[in-house]
Amino acid sequence: MNSHDFSYLANVLHRRTGIILAEKKTHMIETRLMPVVRRFGFRDIASLLKELHYGHEALVQAVIESMTTNDSAFFRDRKTFEEFRDIVLPVLKLARSETKQLRIWCAACAAGQEPYSIAMVLDDAKLIDAGWTITLIATDINSQMVARAQDGIYSQFEVQRGLPIRRLVSNFQQEGTSWRISDHLRRMVSFRTFNLLDSYGWLPDCDVVFCRNALMYFDLKTRASVLDRIGEILAPDGALLVGPAESTDGYALGYVPADSAPGLFYKSKPAPVRRLSLVK
Amino acid sequence: MKTCLVVDDSRVIRKVACRILNELSFETEEAENGADALVACQRRMPDVILLDWQMPQMTGIDFLKSLRRDSKGNHPVVLFCITENDPAHISEALGAGADEFILKPFDRGLIAAKLAEVGLV
Ligand SMILES: C[S@@+](CC[C@H](N)C(=O)[O-])C[C@H]1O[C@@H](n2cnc3c(N)ncnc32)[C@H](O)[C@@H]1O
């Protein structure tokens, strides 16, 4: 791929998703584009990129999806889930004891491991039995990932990491060499394809937002604007959970970090001075 | 240094497992069947046992049953290595006192992840 093609692709991707492509990753980019080349019947990457100029939506979407990194795991960064279970949930259970309503958004759900991990924690807490209404929305820009998440079928390799065996046997059914998430957990989650750069108008006000390991692919300005907009739909006492690598200062601008709980933030008034100095 | 007993009838698998465990700063010992493993445990109880299912002489499950009968509580941690995730096998092994499972073939990442899950690294 020549540098002209690279810049064009990087530009399309950044404009549509906020994701920054590094030129030194050309080899990886080409490997990821090849399935799209074949699927759409192009001769090579160059002719695909030429066609991309015409902006056919299906092609643009396929190229964007091929550029996303979708790795995930059940209970990835286990500490985050402990914080959710031990710090966030107990407080919200008290604060929402009147309405008994909880709304959670998992904003970059990949193949569903994260929302199903959240569902398992909620299931353990027996909230639904106690009459709570739980809305658990899971979204990702990658429609193929969302479809996989909806199916809820995982390989042996995927269930091996992060899932204790007792959870595996109690929350999944084996189907040949794969494992399918239990129906009652699957029904707890509503999936939808959604780009974090699009309008959040359809989302309800949320009590908890998980936005983990996605912001780190974005440029600083996009991170700040996504976090701003998450702040707009987050309840005043709501919590935001980001990845541990994302919990350093400068990421969760305008949020207050929870004491000694890496990756957990509470909503607060944005601090404009600090924010401006950090955004390029 | 934490110690790990690797129980497997395949010499190659024992070597591979020991190398990975050494890299993870475990001191290792080997046994090629359940009976030898029991002897090794009497000599010195390890912190964790990586246990194969199918072995001549004494199978993994029989070894586990007598280990748990003889030793107190849940010590040592037992990671069962299996080639297929048969729920019936799994519940039998859980009943006998297994802590976690590792599906073969394993690699360093998987062993490290499972050891982390049981709180050993
Ligand atoms: C590395 S995965 C992280 C998955 C999961 N949150 C976790 O922590 O394991 C990053 C996900 O972010 C998604 N993503 C990237 N850019 C996005 C955007 N602009 N809008 C929505 N999702 C996006 C990707 O499709 C990918 O599935």
- What integer pLDDT is reported at residue A272 of this predicted model? 40
Other C-beta atoms within 10 Å of A166: how many?
13
Please indicate, yes or no, if residue A72 is contained in any of the structural domains. Answer: no
Q: Say how many Å lie between the CA of residue A108 and the centre of ligand 1.
A: 4
- B90 and A161 within 8 Å at the Cβ level: the answer is no
The CATH number of the domain holding residue A56 is: 1.10.155.10
Phi, psi angle pair for B71, to nearest 5°: -95, 160
- What integer pLDDT is reported at residue A251 of this predicted model? 62
Best of A165, A169, A170 to mutate (most B CBs within 10 Å, chain B)? A165
Q: Are A68 and A142 in contact (CB under 8 A)?
A: yes
Quote the pTM value.
0.87
Q: Are A261 and A90 in contact (CB under 8 A)?
A: no
| Cβ(A18) – ligand 1 distance below 6 Å | yes
**Distance (Å, rounded) from C-alpha A40 to C-alpha B47?**
55
Please indicate, yes or no, if residue A271 is contained in any of the structural domains. Answer: no
Residue A204 DSSP label? P
**Distance (Å, rounded) from C-alpha B70 to C-alpha B42?**
10
Task: Taking the CA atoms of A207, A121, A94 and A246 in sequence, report the sign of the dihedral they define.
Answer: negative
Nearest one of A138, A221, A237 to A229, comparing CA atoms:
A221
Nearest atom in ligand 1 to the alpha carbon of residue A65 is: 25
B85 → closest Cβ in A156, A161, A162: A156
Please indicate, yes or no, if residue A107 is contained in any of the structural domains. Answer: yes
State the DSSP H helix or E strand holding residue A199, giving kind and residue range, or none if neither.
none
- A164 and B113 within 8 Å at the Cβ level: the answer is no
- Do A214 and A243 share a domain, yes or no? yes
Q: Which of A5-19, A156-170, A211-225 has the least mean pLDDT?
A: A156-170
The CATH number of the domain holding residue A159 is: 3.40.50.150
Query: Residue B18: CB partners within 8 Å, gap ≥ 6?
Result: B6, B28, B30
Task: For residue A168, list chain B residues with Cβ-Cβ distance below 8 A.
Answer: 85
Please indicate, yes or no, if residue A108 is contained in any of the structural domains. Answer: yes
Confidence grade of residue A276 (pLDDT, cut at 50, 70, 90): very low
| Cβ(A196) – ligand 1 distance below 6 Å | yes
Whether residue A250 has pLDDT greater than 70: no
Task: Please identify which residue in the block is written with the tokens 């889930």.
Answer: A81
Cα distance from A165 to chain B (closest Cα, Å)?
6
Cross-strand partners of A174: A179
Task: Taking the CA atoms of A35, A36, A37 and A40 in sequence, report the sign of the dihedral they define.
Answer: positive
- Do A105 and A62 share a domain, yes or no? no
| Cβ(A215) – ligand 1 distance below 6 Å | no
- Do A112 and A230 share a domain, yes or no? yes
- Do A48 and A102 share a domain, yes or no? no
**Distance (Å, rounded) from C-alpha B80 to C-alpha A169?**
15
| Cβ(A70) – ligand 1 distance below 6 Å | yes
**Distance (Å, rounded) from C-alpha A243 to C-alpha B61?**
39
Q: Could you check whether the bond before residue A244 is cis, i.e. omega within 30 degrees of 0?
A: no
Q: Are A154 and A114 in contact (CB under 8 A)?
A: no
- The CATH number of the domain covering residues in B2-117: 3.40.50.2300
Residue with the larger pLDDT of the pair B105 and A116: A116
For A50, the domain range is 3-67
Please indicate, yes or no, if residue A221 is contained in any of the structural domains. Answer: yes
Please indicate, yes or no, if residue A48 is contained in any of the structural domains. Answer: yes
**Tens digit of each residue's pLDDT, chain B (121 residues):** 999 999 999 999 999 999 999 999 999 999 999 999 999 999 999 999 999 988 888 889 999 999 998 776 668 999 999 887 777 888 888 889 999 999 888 889 899 989 988 888 8
Helix ranges, chain A (H): 3-17, 26-39, 45-52, 57-67, 78-83, 89-95, 113-124, 143-151, 156-160, 165-171, 183-186, 220-233, 272-278
Average pLDDT over residues A22-41: 94
- B85 and A174 within 8 Å at the Cβ level: the answer is yes
| Cβ(A225) – ligand 1 distance below 6 Å | no
Task: Please identify which residue in the block is written with the tokens 């810049």.
Answer: A7
Q: How far is CA A102 from CA A33, A105, A187, in A?
A: 40, 10, 16
**Distance (Å, rounded) from C-alpha B52 to C-alpha B74?**
18
- Do A100 and A180 share a domain, yes or no? yes
Please indicate, yes or no, if residue A279 is contained in any of the structural domains. Answer: no
- Do A129 and A259 share a domain, yes or no? yes
Average pLDDT over residues A148-165: 92
Other C-beta atoms within 10 Å of A115: how many?
28
The domain boundary, picked from A13, A40, A67, lies at A67
Nearest atom in ligand 1 to the alpha carbon of residue A140 is: 22
Q: Could you check whether the bond before residue B105 is cis, i.e. omega within 30 degrees of 0?
A: yes
The total domain count for chain A is: 2
Q: Say how many Å lie between the CA of residue A226 and the centre of ligand 1.
A: 13
Residue with the larger pLDDT of the pair A196 and A275: A196
Question: CB pairs below 8 Å between A and B: how many?
Answer: 26
Q: Say how many Å lie between the CA of residue A96 and the centre of ligand 1.
A: 29
Phi, psi angle pair for A178, to nearest 5°: -110, 175
